[in-house]
Amino acid sequence: MEQVVYGLLEKGADVNAQGGEYGSALQAASSKGHEAIMKVLLENGADMNAQGGEYGSALQAASSEGHEAVVKVLLKRGADVNAQGGGYGSALHAAS
């Protein structure tokens, strides 16, 4: 899957495009626990605090699904722990 993401980005895919259930590709990868893909997206300019979709932000998505490794990466890179949005409100609400 990682190679598919690289290929799409090489062809000009918008790393911050919004739409659908997940919002952005970063929110989708975070909700599924795809740490390697999430890192590729972040290295290519994905906005980790972007709001959209069912979850709100990537941190809220990872928190709601219990993906501890993904949460740690996002926190280390400065994700906003108090961001509000999506169906959960905050990352803390999503993790509960």
| Rounded Cα distance, 95 and 40, in Å | 24
- The low-confidence residues of the chain, meaning pLDDT below 70, are none
pTM, two decimals, is: 0.92
E strand or H helix at 91, and its extent? helix 91-95
Cα angle, residue 2 at apex, residues 85 and 11 outer, rounded to 5°:
90
What pLDDT score was predicted for residue 48? Answer: 95
CB atoms within 10 A of CB 13: 12
CATH fold for the domain made of 2-95: 1.25.40
Predicted confidence (pLDDT) per residue in 64-78, tens digit = 999 999 999 999 999
| Rounded Cα distance, 55 and 60, in Å | 6
Domain ranges of the chain: 2-95
